[in-house]
Structures are given as C-alpha cells and as structure tokens.
Structure 1
Amino acid sequence: MEELFKLMRKVSMSAKGRRSLRGLGDGGASLSSLQSLKLPKVLLVITIWLALLSKAEFSARASLVSSLCNLFAGNPGLWQDGRATYYGSEAFGGDNEHNGACGYGTLSAAFVGHNYAAASPVIFESGRACGGCFEVQCRGNGYPCRAGTARVTVTDLCPPIPPNLRHCAGGKAHLDLGVRVFPIIADPRAGVVDIRFRTVPCGRFNAITFFIRGNVYGWLSLVVMGVPASGRVVGMEVKASGSTNWEALRHDYGAAYMRTGRPLRTPISVRLSIFGKLCRMTAMNCIPTGFKDRQKVSCSYRSG
C-alpha cells in the first residue's frame, strides 16, 4: 500500500497531478474532508486518482465510479481513539430534548431514535459530520467497559465551552452519546470512558427526507436527513423545473444548505454530493409546487 501512496505523490507532482481536485470540489469536498473520513488507504488512493482524471477520462470510467460508490457504501472506516460521555434525560424517554446543531430538531427521532450523539468540533467539522454514522466501543478490559457495540448518528455539536471544555475543547476526539446508548458500551456510573470509533454505513433508507425552510421570494433552506451510505453530505445543488443547470447551495450550518436570489420554478430537483462528483444522489422534482415553510418531504432518489 505504501508503494501506491508513493506513486500518488509522484502523480500529484506531475503536470496532470498539478490539477486541483476540482472533480471533488464541485460538490464541496476536498482532500482533507476525504481524509477526515478515515477511509482505508486503498479507497482514498482510488478516490484521489479518479479526481485527477479529465472529464473525458472520468466519463469513460463511469462503471468504475459506480462500483466505487457501492464500495464506499458498504465499507467501514478505520478505528480511531477518543473518549465518550452521555447526555439527554430519561425524563424525556431517553430522547434528545435539544434541537441540536445539525438542525434536525424533533424530526431526528424519526430516523435515529435514541441512537444519537453530539460530536466535538474536530469530528463535527462545522456540520459536515451531521447525519454521519459511527460504530463505538469502550476501550479497555474490565470495569467500566462492557462488551457491547453501539451505532450512533451525529445530530449535534458538543461545544467547546463550559461545562464541556474538559472533554470537547482542544482538538479532542469526543462523542457525547445519547443517555440510552452509553450503557450499551459502559457502566453509566463511570460518566466518561475511553472509546474507539469508526465511520460505518448508515441504514438503507428508501427515500431522502428534507426539512424545508423558505418562501416565494427565492430564499430556500434545506436540511437533509436519512442519507444512505456514509450519511454525510459534502455538497447540495438544486435545479429548477425546465432548467438544465444545477445551482450549488451554500452550506449554512449543520445539515442545512441554502440559497437566495430569484425564485426557482417548481418542482425543484435536489442533488446531494457524498464524495463530490464521485458519488451523488439525485431526487428529481422533490420540492413540490406550493411548498410551505417548515414542511417535510421525502423523495425517492437515484445514485450515481
């Protein structure tokens, strides 16, 4: 594998390699965002190689791209070390009573249930990790660790402010787990434990759900949830009815992307970028005519 990386470094210094990773960037991805997923090296190498291809070369390898997306969807990331605490209240049935920095609000219960987590800034990545799924295990032998493995979805930020400075500030890798999740991996009386965690594929959702904020004057904000594969979205685009042009939305906060300007003709199609142009999910005619502010819609999608 090291030989492959040496080859990639040589390519990156060649005339071809001096191209920017624009193939990834058109969806908002970057080399650093790919590395943050902690993908196995072979997947990262293939991804960078595809990003360096010309448009014609990329099109000629469409079947390989499709296969790569399937590989991403079913392949976990590398294990990382960190720490975990827990939050939430049994008085609320174990639910996360907070709206959360991802913008899911109470809608999160529909697709994550009790299996939520707040991530420290180094994991949260300004909201890029929203909707991402992690497998978590307690690290150590004996008390307070338990043998269970938990799977959680990032729905919130663990802010680096009091009382979280000790755990979530200073670049620490920390997950604040839901109150019903923590007991799966450790005795709750411990309060905080060492963990190891990795990205894993999320559930196989049959539809992608959007929470719409907007009006008839051109402001449109979309919060996306229930994304298959990694669960993470690195870019979002919309296309007005009758148009052939995709308009990139601006990342606003958490899982929310927005636009302003001239109103879009409805119905509006939405395209999500999971790994830039490498892996996309398109929901055609998803945002309906006459949509309402704070409306939730679920749309079928196609990959590729």
Structure 2
Amino acid sequence: MSPPAKTEAPLLALLLLTLTSTATSHYTSSSPPAPQSSQWHPARATYYAASDPRDAVGGACGYGDLVKAGYGMATVGLSESLFERGQICGACFELRCVDDLRWCIPGTSIIVTATNFCAPNYGFTAEGGGRCNPPNKHFVLPIEAFEKIAIWKAGNMPVQYRRIKCRKEGGVRFTVDGSGIFVSVLISNVAGAGDIVAVKIRASKTGWLQMGRNWGQNWHINSDLKNQPLSFEVTTSDGLTLTSYNVAPKDWSFGQTFEGKQFQS
C-alpha cells in the first residue's frame, strides 16, 4: 500500500516573544476532573511526509509554526468525527498500533496533541478512500511520529487510541494579535485536559469580559484594552479553570506572546 498523500494546511505566522511577567493563579472547578486516561478505542492512522519546511507550519487549530509553538512532531490531525469543530484542539491522545504483526512495532505507543483537521473527501466513500469521512475515526500523523509505532510501508494502519492528560513544559501561552479594538488571543501549550471551552480576559479598567471562539484555539473580543495589563481566565473541558493575573504588562503590543501559569497534569 502506498503512503497517503499529504494535505496542505493554511499557513500562519506565529511570533513568539515570551516576556517575564508577574502572574499568580488559582483553580476552581465546576465538575469533577476527568480521569488520567480513558479506555482504548479502535481507529486507523496514516501519515504525511514533510518534504517542505512549510509543512510544519499552520493547521486548523491556529497554532502556527508547530516547532516554535513547542509541539514539534508530536502532533496529529483528526477526522471530522473526532475534531468537534475545533474544540478538541489541544487535547492529547495516546496511540498504539494493533492487529498487524507484520508492520506494528510491538510494545510501543505515542502521545500526540491535536493540532489539525483531516477534511473529508466525499468523492470517495468512507470505506473506499475517504479515510477522514464520517463516521471514520482517523488520525493523520507526521511520519516521524508514525514510525515510532509502525513501519512506514504499512500506510493505513489499524490503531487504538485513548484520551489522556497533556503534560507541557512551562506555562500556558497567550499570543495577542489583532488591530485597534479587535483583540485576538491564541492560547497554546495547555496541560491537563488540553482543550479549552471558555476564556475570559480582564484589563485594569474593565471587569472580566467573555471572549468568543474565533476558530481553533483563537479567541476574540471587541474592546479597547490598550495600555492596560491583561489577565486571563481559561476553562478546560474537564471543568477546571485557571486564572493568571497580569500576564501581559501595561505596554503590551500586538504580535507578542506571554506566559501564564499552568494546569496540573
């Protein structure tokens, strides 16, 4: 079986300029935390070979350059049945190769972060070439990740997957972009559940303001927040909320990335 064709991802620029800030945090919870890991489920996995440096850039979650963002090659694109219209971005999965003694590397598994979307191709049936068509549970991996669990010649492999907690180095990152009163914040490097369901922002002259999901893990608001320090309240899918105060200093500017506190993993 020949390797699957790689898919082009939209190119995004991500400027990482982490500034030292004085931030404090606390947790609140509206529901019990999710378990460390869930049961294994059947799926299939393919890979793409990065022949161009730009292949490491972009993706439907908006993280930009995945290496600079800290994700490296431990990433995955999800089929429509798993992607949840982008809410799943940032979640972590453990994958292992199964049911194929010829191609699987025994006793191995990989942990990857959801960073991209594998679009369906309705020119083919789900059984006849539309690998990412509903209801298929399909993972598309960089070849560097795929080869940790299977030999590349396998192509389209049966795997098992389970959702696990994310472990990240450093704090949650907030990349502030936009123009004028339009403020867009990309939130990345989230430990714990990994995927975000709600975000609030507060400046020194405002109360807490609810942000809306723009796409992936890009959140936005229309408000004049210039020349004010910024604080963030982030809630993940397991109901935990992390509040980081004064993450961005008063003289912040668009295009900068700031580091807050981190969820426990």
- Establish whether TM, by shorter chain, passes 0.5: yes
Instruction: Name the SS of the counterpart of 2:144 in structure 1.
Output: coil
* AA matched with 1:127: G
Q: CA deviation at 1:91?
A: 5.5
TM-score, structure 1 as length reference: 0.69
Q: What is aligned with 2:233?
A: 271
Identity of aligned residues (%): 25
Q: What is aligned with 2:77?
A: 118
Q: CA deviation at 1:109?
A: 4.1
Asked whether the 8 Å contact 1:267–1:286 carries over to 2, the reply is yes
Q: CA deviation at 1:246?
A: 1.8
Are 1:175 and 2:134 matched, yes or no?
no
Quick check: which one's helix share is greater?
1
Change (3 A) 1:201 1:177: same
Q: What is aligned with 1:230?
A: 193
Q: What is aligned with 2:113?
A: 153
Q: CA deviation at 1:90?
A: 5.2
Write out aligned runs for 1:2-17 (5 A).
none
2:167 to 198, 203, 207: 203
Matches of 2:73 and 2:210 in 1, distance apart?
33
Asked whether the 8 Å contact 1:202–1:231 carries over to 2, the reply is yes
Change (3 A) 1:214 1:64: closer
* AA matched with 2:119: P
Change (3 A) 1:122 1:100: same
- Listed as ranges, the gaps of 5+ residues in structure 1 are 1-62
User: Max radius of gyration: which structure?
Assistant: 1
Q: What is aligned with 1:291?
A: 252
Q: What is aligned with 1:39?
A: none
More displaced 10-residue stretch of structure 1: 177-186 or 157-166: 157-166
Q: Select the structure with the greater relative contact order (CA < 8 A; seq sep ≥ 6).
A: 2
Q: What is aligned with 2:182?
A: 219
Matches of 2:38 and 2:175 in 1, distance apart?
29
Change (3 A) 1:241 1:119: same
- Please provide the CA RMSD for this pair: 2.7
Quick check: which one's strand share is greater?
2
Q: CA deviation at 1:141?
A: 3.9
* AA matched with 1:157: F
Q: What is aligned with 1:77?
A: 38
Asked whether the 8 Å contact 1:76–1:201 carries over to 2, the reply is yes
Q: CA deviation at 1:301?
A: 5.0
Tell me the alpha carbon deviations over residues 147-182 of structure 1, each in whole angstroms, 9 at most, x when there is no partner.
Answer: 210111111111113799611112311110111010
Matches of 2:263 and 2:104 in 1, distance apart?
41
TM-score, structure 2 as length reference: 0.78
Write out aligned runs for 1:73-112 (5 A).
75-89=36-50, 92=53, 96-112=55-71
Are 1:189 and 2:153 matched, yes or no?
yes
Q: CA deviation at 1:198?
A: 0.8
Instruction: Name the SS of the counterpart of 1:181 in structure 2.
Output: helix
Asked whether the 8 Å contact 1:131–1:227 carries over to 2, the reply is yes
